[in-house]
Amino acid sequence: MITVAKELDLPLGIKAVNAEGKPRLMGLGDIVFPGLFIAMCYRFELVNCLKEGKNAFTSVYLIVTILGYIAG
């Protein structure tokens, strides 16, 4: 998988530099899958909040998943 991301000239990976200055390769799994998980958690909480009549932007699932994504 790393060989494919390094050799092909397709948008399969993003080259980044970590805090130590070493290059790091971020794949779509580092960006897309956590984003999908956050979207699913938000949708789950939105449906539950609409049933109860609460505000979905103050939901526990959304806040925790976004903070976890930022920390990761």
For 8-35, write each residue's pLDDT tens digit: 565 666 777 777 888 777 777 777 788 8
Name, in order, each residue with C-beta under 8 angstroms of 47's C-beta and a sequence gap of 6 or more: none
Q: How many domains is the chain partitioned into structurally?
A: 1
- Domain range enclosing 38: 2-71
Band (5; pLDDT cuts 50, 70, 90): low
Q: Hey, which bits of the chain come out as E strands?
A: 13-17, 23-27
pLDDT in tens, 30-62: 777 888 888 888 888 888 888 888 776 666 777
Q: What is the pLDDT of residue 11?
A: 60
- pTM, to two decimals: 0.57
